[in-house]
Amino acid sequence: MQNKWKILITVAVTTMMATMDASIINIAFPVLARVFEADVSVVMWVTVLFILVSTSSMLIIGKIGDMVGRKRIFLAGIGVFTLGLLACALAGSIGQLIFFRALQGVGAAMTISCGAAIVTEAFPPHEVGKGLGSLGVFVSLGFIAGPIVGGLLLDFLDWRSIFYVRIPLGIAAFLMAVVFLEKDQAWHGRSRLDILGTITSSAGIFLFVFGISGMRDHGAASFRVLPVAGLGLVLIAAFVFLERRAQNPIVDPGLFKDKVFSSAIGGLFLHFVAAPPYMLVIPFYLMLSLHMRASEAGMLMAATSVTTMVFGPVSGWLSDRFGRVWFAAIGAAAATLSFLFMLGFDLQSTVGSIAPVFVLLGVGAGTFQPANNSIIMGAVGREQLGTASALIATQRQVGIAVGMALTGTLYSAWNDGHREELLSQGVDGIYASKAAIPMALHDVALISVFINVLVVVLCLLPLWKKGKKLLQT
């Protein structure tokens, strides 16, 4: 087996551990609330703090990886994450569990920030799409396997098992990384870390994501949301200002002068902002309006992830050969159509009419993401691959957070409005509650249609700027 595939498998196993971690914990919330006699709002911090810490630290860790060596950071990340699993399994209180999950968040950020960069460096330029597409398979596999593995462990063992059974996998991933990852190369011209950039970027992203995460429960104008998210935006703006003057910036502002890079980054962010109507609202529609069991809804929604797994490597390989810009645009167009078709979902929809839409969404994600990520990674120099990799992960996490906050707030408001309107027309209360869900789904899905159209435009924008030359990128 060629070394590039050994490197890919090593990074993929580690990435799958991190993505599985997000979904395997959520299914344990009811058990954790009962065992620790804690309110669900407290238990949720087991996941919330993990996301906040990992998202806010990715940029700076990606930069450090560029400076000191990505293999070192990747190995350290596996070690921290695996020790975090052990600590979580031994936690004696909900407070300890939340703290150790924050430690895990640091480890996850270290591996995710460097993962795409390591794969990009291992594959020749004309095969980067293939490598990143294959890596995407394991991202989807982690999300699919998490709830399934977590449910089985909780059924037959106890809550601690969702942590300790993964420790051997962490040890195996560490040993694979030691053996298969290539030795870090010495880069000339390394300089001191930008301390002000580190503080403003990490604090700004942390506060912004923390602030908007409370929008659905507290309202956009509440003290929990507006001042906190506003302060986060101020710090992010200060970060941008400081980076333009820093000798060794965390993110080189010159990257955004490249229309290919800036369009791809913007498209990636909006792609994930548009996703939450599916992630957040569809489960309510399937289970409350169509009366599916949780297992049935989960299996139906798994069609999207499975399709993404299939199309990811294929799209990556084809985009390497025929042009990444076009495949990113085709993927965004497929996602646009999937949300457009969701406008037809109602109380009479069947599995046969819903499943193809979910498959089309999987085609869109599986086609767009490898091509888009290849464009981003191909637009930077080798010495900035870690920063670009971290930027991709940060855009994904922040985009999802923004989309979840907006979707949750708008869906709740529109759902209540539609229900009240139906009640005023004399419709039975139970039926009104069922019927209001797809109506509100249509509203938020329509927003996703417009956002995805903008993603298509951003994908094609470089073609208008640089013409046919980009078709070979």
Closest residue by Cα to residue 166 from 8, 13, 17, 11: 17
210: phi > 0 → left, psi -120 to 50 → alpha, else beta; which? alpha
Residue 333 has pLDDT above 90, yes or no: yes
Mean pLDDT score of the chain: 80
Alpha-carbon distances of 264 from 267, 387, 418, 468, rounded to whole Å: 5, 15, 37, 17
What is the C-alpha R_g of the chain?
Answer: 22
At 186 the pLDDT is 52
- Pair 117, 7: CB distance under 8 Å: no
- CA–CA dist 55, 133 (Å, integer): 22
The mean-pLDDT minimum among 24-28, 102-106, 333-337 falls in 24-28
Residue type, 178: V
At 471 the pLDDT is 46
At 439 the pLDDT is 92
The encoded tokens of residue 163 equal: 């942590």
At 151 the pLDDT is 72
Cβ atoms within 10 Å of 314's Cβ, excluding its own = 14
| Bigger pLDDT: 41 vs 263 | 263
For the chain, percent of residues with pLDDT exceeding 70: 87
- DSSP class of residue 157? S
| Bigger pLDDT: 441 vs 463 | 441
- CA–CA dist 464, 473 (Å, integer): 14
Determine phi and psi for 211, rounding to 5 degrees.
Answer: -65, -50
From the number of C-beta atoms within 10 Å of its C-beta (0-12, 13-18, 19+), residue 66 rates as buried
* Alpha carbons within 13 A on the beta-carbon side of 150: 21
Determine phi and psi for 90, rounding to 5 degrees.
Answer: -100, 0
Average pLDDT over residues 353-375: 89
The mean-pLDDT minimum among 63-72, 138-147, 323-332 falls in 138-147
Helix axis angle, 45-68 to 3-26, nearest 10°? 160
| Bigger pLDDT: 57 vs 254 | 57
Average pLDDT over residues 227-251: 79
Q: How confident is the model at residue 466 (pLDDT cuts 50, 70, 90)?
A: low
Average pLDDT over residues 322-332: 82
Cβ atoms within 10 Å of 6's Cβ, excluding its own = 15
The mean-pLDDT minimum among 129-143, 327-341, 445-459 falls in 129-143
- CA–CA dist 392, 313 (Å, integer): 18
Residue type, 182: E
At 1 the pLDDT is 52
Closest residue by Cα to residue 142 from 5, 296, 10, 22: 22
At 465 the pLDDT is 56
Choose the most confident range, by mean pLDDT, from 243-257, 314-328, 423-437: 423-437
Distance of CA 288 to the CA centre of its chain: 26
- Give exposure, 206-231, as e/b (b: 16+ Cβ within 10 Å): bbbbbbbbbbbeeeeeeeebbebbee
Q: Which residues lie below 8 Å from residue 418, measured CB to CB, with a gap of 6+?
A: 435, 436, 439, 440
Residue 81 has pLDDT above 60, yes or no: yes
Helix/strand/coil percentages in the chain, nearest 5: 85, 0, 15
Residue 48 has pLDDT above 80, yes or no: no
Alpha-carbon distances of 289 from 120, 429, 443, 447, rounded to whole Å: 44, 13, 16, 21
Residue 428 has pLDDT above 70, yes or no: yes
Residue 121 has pLDDT above 60, yes or no: yes
DSSP assignments along 109-136, one per residue: HHHHHHHHHHHHHHS-GGGHHHHHHHHH
Determine phi and psi for 91, rounding to 5 degrees.
Answer: -60, 135
Cβ atoms within 10 Å of 50's Cβ, excluding its own = 24
Q: Which residues lie below 8 Å from residue 1, measured CB to CB, with a gap of 6+?
A: none
- CA–CA dist 341, 364 (Å, integer): 13
Average pLDDT over residues 401-421: 83
At 470 the pLDDT is 43
Token pair 């539609």 in the structure block, residue: 418
- DSSP class of residue 183? P
- CA–CA dist 24, 201 (Å, integer): 29
Q: Which residues lie below 8 Å from residue 332, measured CB to CB, with a gap of 6+?
A: 267, 271, 364, 368, 452, 455, 456, 459
Residue 116 has pLDDT above 70, yes or no: yes
